[in-house]
A = this chain, B = another copy of it.
C-alpha cells in the first residue's frame, strides 16, 4: 500500500511538474495574492521583499520587528510574472526593495540569462519611475538534490551558480547592491545545507535566520 502511494505520488508529481512547466500563465494563487497586494498600500517608508515561495513563506515584519517590512512574495512566481505586478509597488515609491527570484524560471526550463534580463528590466523600471527606492538584488539560493521533490528545481545547481554570477555583474553595471546569501546557505558539497531545509528547495526557520543575518545591515 505504501509503495503504491509512493509510485502514484511520483506519477502525479511528474504530470503536475510537466503541466506547470508548459503553462505560460500564473495559477489562481498568484491572482489571489496580486488582488490582495493591490488593496494593501505601499508607502515611501516601506521595505519590500518581493519574490517567490521562499519569500512568501516568511513573516517579514515579525522577523525584523518592523511593520514597514512587507511581504510581496508569491509562491511559484517567476521573474517574468513579477514584472507584471510591479505597478502597485512602484507607485508607492518604497524606501527599499529586496528581490529574490529565478529558481522557478530555471525549474521551468528558462535560461540563467533570461532570469537576469528580467531582473534588469525590473531595475530599469524602478530606476526610471522610483529612483529614490534603494534596490537590493539577492542571490538565488542553493538547492539540494538529495531530496526527491521538486526534481526540476533541485537539478539546477549549476544554472543557479551561473545565474548568480550574471546577477552580480548586472548589479555592478547598474550601480546597485548584490547580496550573496547563496554562500551562507550552501554546504561543503555545493548543496542547500540540510540544516536549513526539509525538501531541498524551501527554508526552515533556521534558514530564515541566516537570511535575516545576511540582509539586516542593509535594512537601516
Contact = CB atoms under 8 A, between A and B. Distances in A.
B204 A32 contact: yes
Nearest to A206: B35
A57 B32 contact: yes
Interface residues of A, number: 42
Interface stretch (A58-66, A157-165, A186-194): A58-66
A172 interface: no
A37 B206 CA distance: 11
Interface stretch (A12-20, A108-116, A122-130): A12-20
A9 interface: yes
Q: Which of the listed residues A36, A38, A67 has the most CB atoms from chain B within 10 Å of its own CB? A: A36
Given A12-B19, A15-B11, A40-B62, A203 B67 contact: no
28 contacts: A5-B19, A5-B22, A8-B15, A11-B15, A12-B19, A16-B16, A29-B57, A29-B202, A32-B57, A32-B202, A32-B203, A32-B205, A33-B57, A35-B204, A35-B205, A36-B58, A36-B205, A38-B205, A39-B205, A39-B208, A40-B59, A40-B63, A40-B205, A61-B61, A61-B62, A61-B67, A65-B67, A66-B67
